[in-house]
Amino acid sequence: GAGVSQTPSNKVTEKGKYVELRCDPISGHTALYWYRQSLGQGPEFLIYFQGTGAADDSGLPNDRFFAVRPEGSVSTLKIQRTERGDSAVYLCASSVGTSRSTDTQYFGPGTRLTVL
Amino acid sequence: KNEVEQSPQNLTAQEGEFITINCSYSVGISALHWLQQHPGGGIVSLFMLSSGKKKHGRLIATINIQEKHSSLHITASHPRDSAVYICAVRRGAQKLVFGQGTRLTINP
């Protein structure tokens, strides 16, 4: 079946611009996660959705970052007034969404964002 | 200090060698994951552990909850095993905290 997909695969933008990154989770997965991975580092948690609501947004670095999941499926990560330090690979993952520790997260291929 | 520390950061070995990658963590966890990331970004889950040991093919993962330590072993390593291996711990129900990754290169 289809895995997690993310679009675009690459995004180049200029400092100060607004960008939107999209994630299509695996069908039926209620939990969706956004992570950010800087060069040479492990991913860092940004936000986690259970259904339509953000259950944990403690990883969003500041109020320039916002994410939505209006219908409990596709999610969009929005970054306002982009800065060069926002350049990273943005990873999305989804899982069935049980509260058990065995709930496996499946990762998308990521969107590489470059802010010039 | 990071909550999850991996060692080594980089590892180069010859084909056929036995590989060990270590992960130490400093917080309470509900599970530990080992992930593989190939160039281009795709991440694949290899193992999820909450105790003991798991084996899948040439890969073995162990965890010692008391010592807050896990190891990933690769037997009879092959150039196709070259990738970044990431340790991640689950905090609470869902949130993952990742190590910085170990870049493994297996030369033929």
Please report, in tens digits, the pLDDT of each residue of chain A (116 residues total). 589 999 999 999 999 999 999 999 999 999 999 999 998 889 999 999 999 999 899 999 999 999 999 999 999 999 999 999 999 999 999 998 776 656 788 999 999 999 99
pLDDT at B27: 84
Write the DSSP assignment of A24-88 as a string of letters: EPPTT--EEEEEEE-TTS--EEEEEEETTEEEE-TT--STTEEEE-TTSS-EEEEE-S--GGG-E
Contacts of A44 (CB under 8 A, 6+ apart): A35, A36, A37, A38, A59, B98
pLDDT at B4: 95
Q: How many CB pairs below 8 Å do chains A and B form together?
A: 64
Cβ atoms of residues A57 and A47 within 8 Å: yes
A30-52 burial, b at 16+ Cβ within 10 Å, e below that, comes to bbbbbbbbeeebbbbbbbbbbee
CA distance B15 to chain A (A): 24
> Considering only CB atoms, which chain B residues are within 8 Å of A112?
41
CA distance B78 to chain A (A): 23
Strand segments, DSSP code E, in chain B are 4-7, 10-14, 19-25, 31-37, 43-49, 52-56, 59-64, 69-74, 83-91, 95-98, 102-107
CA distance A27 to A96: 9
> Considering only CB atoms, which chain B residues are within 8 Å of A10?
none
Residue of A nearest to B10 (CA): A40
CB spacing of B100 vs A40 below 8 angstroms: yes
Cα A107 versus chain centre, distance: 10
pLDDT at A40: 84
Q: What's the Rg (C-alpha) of chain B?
A: 13
Q: Which residue has the tokens 């599970």?
A: B31
By Cβ distance, the residue of B41, B50, B95 closest to A109 is B41
Q: What's the Rg (C-alpha) of chain A?
A: 13
Among residues A103, A54, A50, the alpha carbon closest in space to that of A77 is found at A54
Mutate to test the interface with B, among A34, A48, A89, A105 (most CBs of B within 10 A): A105
B10 forms bridges with which residues in the sheet?
B103
Going from the first residue of chain B to its last (108 residues), give the mean pLDDT of each consecutive group of 10, the final group possibly shorter.
Answer: 91 97 92 90 87 95 95 97 95 82 96
By Cβ distance, the residue of B43, B86, B90 closest to A101 is B90
Whole-angstrom CA distances from B17 to A60, B40, B87, B92 are: 41, 26, 21, 37
CB spacing of A107 vs B30 below 8 angstroms: no
pLDDT at A74: 97
Chain A residues near any Cβ of chain B (below 8 Å): 31, 33, 35, 37, 40-45, 48, 50, 55-56, 89, 91, 93, 95, 99, 101-107, 109-110, 112
CB spacing of A31 vs B94 below 8 angstroms: yes
CB spacing of A102 vs B31 below 8 angstroms: yes
